[in-house]
Amino acid sequence: MNLKKEIREIPDFPKKGINFKDITTLLKNREAFNLVVDSIVSEFKDRNISKVVGLESRGFIFGGAIASRLNAGFVPVRKKGKLPAQVLSETYELEYGIDSVEMHVDALNKEDVVLIHDDLLATGGTAFAALNLAKRAGVKTTYFSFVCDLEFIHSSKKDEIKKFNPQILVRY
């Protein structure tokens, strides 16, 4: 199955000049959805993943399914102000602005083996922020997976993420 054909592009969203990769069309196709989950689980099933960190918001959709199939816990990394308990916070740059993400301080520990998952790798800013949160929690072993990579976007943060050899299913 060609997953790229399952992803709709929305021009000029959220800002003029950005072609948004809309995975809701992939999500509604059970075969495509299961192919993504199966592919990621297959890649990481023998790596002793104890927690899957899903990045808000689309990373939650696949992240929860992946965590369940890996028999791992799920940790949401959310936008600032969305989590109710004490948090660690990281600010990062997007391809179209600046934002912050947060994670509960007790979500991860130094014994965890973590898979950070998001739907899209653009500048790498969000994923790098999640990596910093995991490091601050003491995590020593981290992996990454993404549904899509916007290969035409280059940044130092993305270069750092690429050193982890992330699993990427669709490249643009």
Per residue in 121-160, pLDDT (tens digit) is 998 999 999 999 999 999 999 999 999 999 999 999 999 9
- Look at residue 25 and tell me if it is in a domain: no
- Look at residue 8 and tell me if it is in a domain: no
Domain coverage including residue 142? 47-171
Q: Report pLDDT for 95.
A: 59
Per residue in 35-77, pLDDT (tens digit) is 999 999 999 999 999 999 999 999 999 999 999 999 999 999 9
Number of domains in the chain: 1
- Look at residue 12 and tell me if it is in a domain: no
- Look at residue 88 and tell me if it is in a domain: yes
- Is 95 among the catalytic positions? yes
C-alpha span between 58 and 163 (Å, rounded): 23
> Tokens 């490091």, residue?
135
Query: Hey, what are 147's tokens?
Result: 């549904």
Marked catalytic residue, from 58, 78, 90, 102: 58
Q: Report pLDDT for 96.
A: 66
C-alpha span between 57 and 22 (Å, rounded): 12
Marked catalytic residue, from 9, 95, 111, 160: 95
Q: How many residues does the chain have?
A: 172
- Look at residue 84 and tell me if it is in a domain: yes
User: In CATH, what number is assigned to the domain containing residue 159?
Assistant: 3.40.50.2020
- Look at residue 41 and tell me if it is in a domain: no
Q: Report pLDDT for 93.
A: 72
- Look at residue 133 and tell me if it is in a domain: yes
Longest dimension (CA), the chain: 44
| More confident site: 110 or 14 | 110
pLDDT more than 90, % of the chain:
92
Residue 134 gets which letter from DSSP? Answer: H
User: Cβ atoms within 10 A of the Cβ of 9, count?
Assistant: 12
C-alpha span between 52 and 116 (Å, rounded): 6
